[in-house]
Amino acid sequence: MPDTYILGIESSCDETAAAVVRSGEQVISNVVASQFATHRPYGGVVPELASREHLRAIVPVVRTALEEAGQTYQSVDALAVTQGPGLAGALLVGISYAKALAFALDKPLIAVNHLEGHIHAVLLEERQKGNHELTFPVLALVVSGGHTHLYLAEQRENGWTYQNIGRTRDDAAGEAFDKVAKLLGLGYPGGPIIDKLSKFGDPKAVKFPLSQIKHRDRREHAGAMPSNSDHPRFDFSYSGIKTSVLRYVETRAMQAAIEERKRAIAVIASPTADDYRRNCDQPTLDLIASFQRAMVDDLVDKTLTAARECDVATLFVTGGVAANNELRQTFERQAAGEGLPVFFPSRPLSTDNAAMIAAAAYPKFLAEDFASPEMSAEASLQLR
């Protein structure tokens, strides 16, 4: 099989990204234009602003990705674009541009599910390291700002299939990091800030009991995924912990300090971890460390329970929250204790990027699974 160069485009949330990947196994270029500065004053992603920023960035980002790869519009073999899930307006920017390019260049276009992209970030980097051996069954935890999903992933002759065996009932894990950071007067996105500050606090200072979801309840709950298999479900729930942090802040009268911190941070153009730390007292650092410990313990416990019950041979942990240091260390330690190999993407490929989209597109390219001209954005696209 000759080398195949796929140009991937990603615009599902607050990053405009383009990348060239060779044959699903080597990143040739990987360009990400983040919109953090645009959304930071609002403490979260503003969908209209995201679409506008994607429109502004998409052409230069794609051009840079091609240039850095030593490729041209004509030389790539195919284009791949995120179809969903994500913000409809944001997705449409990438999809419209990719469709126009594919039509004008007469190249195949491949539609990729963003969550599948996160899973393929792991596969791409393992192949890049020369690791082509993968033992099935594989369980993948996709943990990001919009999703906390557990999938059993299988490789078939014509590509990959996925079975969802767990998901969040309410807030995604990354959303909980972002909301807690916002309510403590820290910046956006909150995950990386909490990650950096946690090491200065006592993780045992505050106890956060996380909701335990019973198996039977999972099937009965209105928001639960329909169960189409024999597997029990392993759902997550993170809106309660955010409320617990809020209650803690109220009962300890921490609001005045939070307002003061917000004012101090707002005047710094690009606040660093040191700036945040200087503006946090010890009780706040302890609260941050305790919150992160509770999140990490719950993610690791539920995922390893699912891994045990489904008797999986390999674990993937991917998505923005997979960049978290304590999460990686805890998974590594506990999975090793159970003899379960665990794989993460490198940190740049944990958060949103287009290399993962180009990598996930490669098996579809081989199977000639191309997008129809009518393909459009699907904000709630499911992964199967």
Alpha helices, DSSP H only, in the chain? 36-39, 47-69, 88-105, 114-128, 173-183, 190-198, 215-220, 239-251, 255-266, 273-278, 282-309, 325-337, 347-350, 355-366
16 is an interface residue for Zn ion by CB under 5 A: no
Q: Give me the 321-340 binding string for ligand KG4, x by CB under 6 A, dash otherwise.
A: x-xx----------------
Binding window for ligand KG4 (CB under 6 A); candidates: 90-98, 141-149, 296-304, 360-368: 141-149
Residues in the chain: 384
Phi, psi of 376 (to 5 degrees): -140, 180
Cα–Cα distance measured from residue 267 to residue 60, given in angstroms and rounded to the nearest whole number: 30
Binding window for Zn ion (CB under 5 A); candidates: 142-150, 165-173, 292-300, 302-310: 142-150
Residues ≥6 apart with Cβ < 8 Å to 56: none
Taking the complex as a whole, the smallest distance from the CB of residue 324 to ligand KG4 amounts, in Å, to: 3
171 is an interface residue for ligand KG4 by CB under 6 A: no
Report the chain's terminal Cα–Cα distance, integer Å: 27
Among 24, 146, 187, 363, binds ligand KG4 (CB under 6 A): 146
Among 13, 81, 110, 265, binds ligand KG4 (CB under 6 A): 13
List the one residue out of 138, 116, 64 whose CA is nearest residue 357: 116
- At residue 276, what is the residue type? Y
List the one residue out of 129, 121, 56 whose CA is nearest residue 93: 56
Among 108, 166, 192, 345, binds ligand KG4 (CB under 6 A): 192
Binding window for Zn ion (CB under 5 A); candidates: 87-95, 303-311, 346-354, 367-375: 346-354
Taking the complex as a whole, the smallest distance from the CB of residue 76 to ligand KG4 amounts, in Å, to: 24
Quick one: 83 exposed, middle or buried, by C-beta within 10 A (0-12, 13-18, 19+)? buried
Tally the C-alpha atoms within 13 A of residue 47's C-alpha that lie toward its C-beta: 9
What b-and-e string marks burial along 236-250, b requiring 16 or more CB atoms within 10 Å of the CB? bbbeebbebbeebbe
71 is an interface residue for ligand KG4 by CB under 6 A: no
Binding window for Zn ion (CB under 5 A); candidates: 139-147, 218-226, 279-287, 289-297: 139-147
Helices 325-337 and 282-309, packing angle to 10 deg: 40
174 is an interface residue for ligand KG4 by CB under 6 A: yes
144 is an interface residue for Zn ion by CB under 5 A: yes
Among 43, 108, 187, 190, binds ligand KG4 (CB under 6 A): 190
Give the angle 57-352-240 at the CA atoms, nearest 5°. Answer: 125
Among 8, 43, 320, 345, binds ligand KG4 (CB under 6 A): 320
53 vs 352, which CB is nearer to Zn ion?
Answer: 352
Q: Which does 191 bind (CB under 5 to 8 A by kind): Zn ion, ligand KG4, none?
A: ligand KG4
Binding residues for ligand KG4, how many (CB under 6 A)?
A: 19
Binding window for Zn ion (CB under 5 A); candidates: 137-145, 200-208, 243-251, 286-294: 137-145
Among 8, 117, 185, 191, binds ligand KG4 (CB under 6 A): 191
Taking the complex as a whole, the smallest distance from the CB of residue 358 to ligand KG4 amounts, in Å, to: 16
17 vs 101, which CB is nearer to ligand KG4?
Answer: 17
Cα–Cα distance measured from residue 222 to residue 346, given in angstroms and rounded to the nearest whole number: 36
Residues interacting with Zn ion, by CB under 5 A?
Answer: 144, 352
Residues interacting with ligand KG4, by CB under 6 A?
Answer: 13, 144-146, 174, 177-178, 189-192, 195, 319-321, 323-324, 351-352
